[in-house]
Amino acid sequence: MPSSHAAPDTSQAHVLVVDDDPEICGLISRYLGANGYRVSTAGDGAQLRVAMHEHQLDLILLDLGLPGEDGLSLLRRFQNEWRCPVIVVSGRGESVERVVGLEMGADDYISKPFDLRELLARVRSVLRRLGPDRTEPLSSGNGTLEFSGLQLDVLARRLVGRDGHDITLTSGEFDLLHALIGRPNQVHTRDQLMNSLHGRDAGPFDRAVDVQVGRLRRKIEVDPGNPQLIKSVRGAGYLFSVPVRKL
């Protein structure tokens, strides 16, 4: 999959662009196609559903401002029906919706109007994290890791809760948890986590990491309002504060 230092082998990566503007769909299709991706397009939720059933998709670029069922409504369905990484595409006036999109499980976002080179970098970053090498270790290795009564199967990308039932994680939540438990009791800066998750440093007003941490806390903490696993370190970042052992 893509590397930050070499041209990626993307011949098998299939990207679906969901936007009701044919010009934008055409522009993105030509650009990503020229960079080795297979690209399909959809103009609304109905066409998205058809594409999901007809193709094996690797990534979806989802515009929020769609006619009929909007992008946020469609994103909710991904939580229950579909398993595919999503990059949310939002307009200038949709900053709140963009944050909501991240909270609902989007893997990244990009704002309109966007630079095509930046879009390509975001696509490469998500696919690099979720491609065939996604089970390669960060620092904790493959296998099963246990902490605070939970078990993370790195190879299967599966989290088993204290009650023995699976806890559903988005791809971004899994990668965040994997990064944190790879170095327990050490501070992870926002820039470090942003690079692990999105392949870039955090901007001064970038809340992506904080949003994902909050979402992950609600799934793994006994009391998310008083987190004991993922601690905030004022002015620094986050720390995973409990022991982690390999099973």
Structural domains in the chain, CATH included, are: 14-130 (3.40.50.2300), 144-246 (1.10.10.10)
Q: What are phi and psi of 134, to 5 degrees?
A: -65, -20
| pLDDT tens column, 151-179 | 999 888 999 999 999 999 988 899 899 98
| pLDDT tens column, 174-208 | 989 998 988 787 788 887 787 777 665 555 445 77
Give, as one character, the DSSP assignment of residue 30: H
Which residue's structure tokens are 């793994």?
Answer: 220
pTM score, whole prediction: 0.54
Edge-first strand order for the sheet with 237-240 is 187-189, 237-240, 230-233
Q: What is the mean pLDDT of residues 43-67?
A: 86
Distance CA 239, CA 76 (A): 29
Give the pLDDT score at 111: 86
Q: Which residues contact 221 (CB under 8 A, 6 or more apart)?
A: 227, 228, 229, 230
CA distances 73 to 22, 67, 78, 87, 189, Å, are: 21, 11, 9, 15, 32
Q: Return the higher-pLDDT residue of 112 and 216.
A: 216
Residue 16 has pLDDT above 90, yes or no: yes
Closest by Cα among 50, 83, 63 to 17: 63
Give the pLDDT score at 206: 59
Closest by Cα among 139, 142, 169 to 155: 142
Distance CA 62, CA 20 (A): 10
Distance CA 142, CA 94 (A): 39
Residue 181 corresponds to which tokens in the numbers above? 């438990």
How large is the angle between the packed helices 190-198 and 116-130, nearest 10 degrees? 90
Which residue's structure tokens are 């993370």?
Answer: 152
Which residue's structure tokens are 């990626």?
Answer: 8
